Structure 1
Amino acid sequence: MIYIYMTVLATILIAMSDFVASTTTDFALGASYRNVISKSLYGLAFFVIFIPGAIRSYVGIDYTTYSKYQIPAVLEGREVKVESLYRWVIRIGYLIGGKSTYQYIFAITNFLIVFFLFLYIKRLSSNKVLSIIVFMSTGFFFFSLSGMRQSIGVAIALWSLKYIEEKKFIPYVITILLASLFHTAVIIFLVFYFLSDIKINPFVVALVMLAVNRLAPHLRNIIISISDRVGLYSEYFGGTFDTGGYNKIFVVLILLVMLFVCLSRLVLGKEVFYKNNTALNIHYVACMVVAMISYLPTPSRLLFLFIPVYITLIPNLVVQYKNIRVILYLIVISLCIFFMYELLFVQNSYGVLPYNHVS
């Protein structure tokens, strides 16, 4: 139940933060005091999400892998696939812990993920409360307790999307390159800067998905060939995780978002719809993954490069609706409750239950 308590408390604090920031009545506090209180409430919401992840113990399927294999290998100087910046997280966390515990490594990791996610939400979300609900319920939070290096990289990459909005190429490239030093796969986000002015009709994407699905076996061979040449992701093909299995709940999530995106293209019109163009393009890549999902190894981890963009995409589309906005909020929140129940209580996604913490 702790994850539900976290979600409820964080959303209440953020709702209070937004209320204080928007209060302009005569008897209200001065603007500077309102700003301090609003930021303090938002900061409290950050700690509500950060602390449980920081003090967890053997929560998440990769916690044991890191504790028993990857962290000791880095500290002992043995060969292990861990990117350079995360090696520094390991060394610094171990040093802070007096070289007697790994717990500070997990604390720093969770801090980086949640910190950049909160910055991303604050900068790019039109409804921060709904963003937190989407973050906590649609899988990325649970994934972040296992796929830690990837989650840091993705969180930084999402935060850096503001540079696309501001047309700042150099800061964007530098940030993505730094993010890739936590997880190499994040380098794919470089592409989205060059796609930022390309506006793609979602109905065309739907047709392309059908074609990709039919051609998936042939496309797999092409991807393997490219992967072997560039040395990225190649070790997964033909390996232990290349089974053709995948979590259907994420396919449902992406298809539902695609349905909403198509509806929004019809209802909102081009000018409003394409205000979210970069997030839409990231979503379309997730759609392509879904189109050939049974032909890709570890497809869920691959999807979690792109699914987190829903944290802002969904709220930013919902707020554009005028007459049925409240109805859409209720539908989205109801679906989030369903996804959270399915992922947490039915699937125990990424082994986040039972929750244990360090004593």
Structure 2
Amino acid sequence: MTVYFIFFLIMSLIWLALFPYMEITYNSVSKLQKQVFCFIVAILLILLAGVRKTNMGADTTVYLQALKYYQSLPRNTILSAPLVYPYDFEPGFFLLTKIAALYSFSPTFFLFVIAALIYIPLCIFISHYSENPYISILVYFAFGFFGYSLGIFRQLIAISFSLMAFHFIHKKQMLPYIVSILFASLFHTSALILLPFYFLARLNLEKKHLFIILAIEAVLLVLGRPLALFIINSLPLYAKYIGGKYDTSDTSYTMLMIYNLILIISFFIKDKEKNLQYARNALLMAIIILCLSYSITILGRAVLYYSIFLILLIPIIIDRIIVNNKLYFYGICILSLIYFFYYITKGSIIDPYRFFF
């Protein structure tokens, strides 16, 4: 875990250098400071992901084997080569892999490219929409997104590209939003689950709806399988998982309880901020899909497209909670997020961190 803690320390020092009093305003200077911070963090994240050992990450080996396979083909046939199991990727990632093979990318350089595709859109999004980019990055680590990004390349690229569509929700531009999500789905088909969010983001939910929400969750936990089967069957690429090892779940309910706690707290934040509304509605969607995933495990991956908005929601909640000693409260929240990352990462496939050299 040492490398990760060093990363947190460096990031903290950069944040304190830019915001020594932990105060973020909405003037042009503060906006520039946020952009500088996110730019530096994007570079650090790309370096952290790029210089790791090439067997770190859930599916890293599979993607690098695909790269090696296409590099083994005659150079003039690489771009026209057909999909081959188990490298039957979506068109976007398939093309990316073949281009990397055509130009003889080394495994490490390929990991750098993947990291750039994931973290640059992420940090642009955080820079534009997060009230506290430092907290947002910690949330990204604490809720497992960074760990996923080291191995589940296609989906994390799709998630990062999908974040770019958030702008069109704000601007009420449906067609560009749809086009953006369709583009993201070229890297992972599951990105299509974000299409309804253009409308769902605008739901005006209040505290009085909490009981109904919890009741719906209970129904989905008990009777959610028919709906889960309908969703899976609507995506032919994933229908093959029905009846397989991803058809059942032994997942704990810990994350569901955490999501619900955050959701409930968010309803007591007195703010008409659109990002609060959009992020809260996204978390609600994540909870609904998570409930369904207890019936069919593979649906759990779709949760990430909505739970990613925790990087907006949690900083808003932390900022709006009224306490006597705000600095002390921030310190507790920061340490809690770092501990949560430690708890879910310790002994996992990305711990200990290993360099490629």
SS in 1 for 2:286: helix
Instruction: Output one character per residue of 1:19-62: Cα deviation in whole Å (capped at 9) or x when no partner.
Output: 69x999xxxxxx99x99887555422221111120122211121
Task: Report deviation, 1:184.
Answer: 0.9
Does residue 162 in structure 1 map to residue 162 in structure 2?
no
2:50 corresponds to: 54
Report the CA distance shift for 1:18/1:146 in structure 2 as closer, same or farther (over 3 A): same
1:311 corresponds to: 311
SS in 2 for 1:298: helix
SS in 2 for 1:67: helix
Instruction: Output one character per residue of 1:203-256: Cα deviation in whole Å (capped at 9) or x when no partner.
Output: 535533434434545431233134324525322222122231225553343133
Q: What amino acid does structure 2 have at the position aligned with 1:341?
A: Y
Q: Provide the rounded CA distance (Å) in 2 between the counterparts of 1:303 and 1:160.
A: 17
Q: What amino acid does structure 2 have at the position aligned with 1:357?
A: F
Does residue 43 in structure 1 map to residue 39 in structure 2?
yes
SS in 1 for 2:315: helix
Report the CA distance shift for 1:73/1:244 in structure 2 as closer, same or farther (over 3 A): farther
Q: What amino acid does structure 2 have at the position aligned with 1:356?
A: R
SS in 1 for 2:201: coil
Task: Report deviation, 1:315.
Answer: 0.6
1:120 corresponds to: 125
Q: Provide the rounded CA distance (Å) in 1 between the counterparts of 2:252 and 2:67.
A: 26
SS in 2 for 1:337: helix
Task: Report deviation, 1:339.
Answer: 1.1
Runs of 4+ in 1 over 6 A off after TM superposition: 34-38
Q: Provide the rounded CA distance (Å) in 1 between the counterparts of 2:299 and 2:227.
A: 17
1:277 corresponds to: 277
Contact 2:131 2:315 in 1 (8 A): yes
Report the CA distance shift for 1:104/1:169 in structure 2 as closer, same or farther (over 3 A): same
2:89 corresponds to: 82
Q: What amino acid does structure 1 have at the position aligned with 2:6?
A: Y
1:27 corresponds to: none
Indicate which of 220, 224, 244 corresponds to 1:219.
Answer: 224
TM-score if structure 2 supplies the norm length?
0.83
Gaps of 5+ in 2: 72-77
Q: Provide the rounded CA distance (Å) in 1 between the counterparts of 2:102 and 2:18.
A: 36
Q: Provide the rounded CA distance (Å) in 2 between the counterparts of 1:114 and 1:247.
A: 29
1:334 corresponds to: 335
For 1:54-73, what aligned pairs fall within 5 Å after superposition?
54-56=50-52, 57-69=54-66, 72=69
Q: What amino acid does structure 2 have at the position aligned with 1:13?
A: I
Q: Which moved more, 1:156-165 or 1:76-85?
A: 76-85
Query: What percentage of aligned pairs have identical amino acids?
Result: 21
Q: Provide the rounded CA distance (Å) in 1 between the counterparts of 2:266 and 2:24.
A: 33
Q: What amino acid does structure 2 have at the position aligned with 1:53?
A: A
Q: Which moved more, 1:8-17 or 1:115-124?
A: 8-17
More helix as a share of residues: 1
Q: What amino acid does structure 2 have at the position aligned with 1:336?
A: L
Does residue 92 in structure 1 map to residue 99 in structure 2?
yes
Q: Which moved more, 1:284-293 or 1:128-137?
A: 284-293
Report the CA distance shift for 1:190/1:222 in structure 2 as closer, same or farther (over 3 A): closer
Does residue 356 in structure 1 map to residue 357 in structure 2?
no
2:246 corresponds to: 241
Q: Provide the rounded CA distance (Å) in 1 between the counterparts of 2:216 and 2:157.
A: 33
Number of aligned residue pairs: give it.
Answer: 342
For 1:132-281, what aligned pairs fall within 5 Å after superposition?
132-201=137-206, 204-205=209-210, 207-216=212-221, 218-231=223-236, 233-246=238-251, 248-264=253-269, 268=270, 271-272=272-273, 275-281=275-281
SS in 2 for 1:121: helix
Report the CA distance shift for 1:23/1:203 in structure 2 as closer, same or farther (over 3 A): closer
Contact 2:220 2:288 in 1 (8 A): no
CA-atom RMSD in angstroms: 3.2
Report the CA distance shift for 1:113/1:315 in structure 2 as closer, same or farther (over 3 A): same
Task: Report deviation, 1:127.
Answer: 0.8
Q: What amino acid does structure 1 have at the position aligned with 2:320?
A: Q
Gaps of 5+ in 1: 25-30
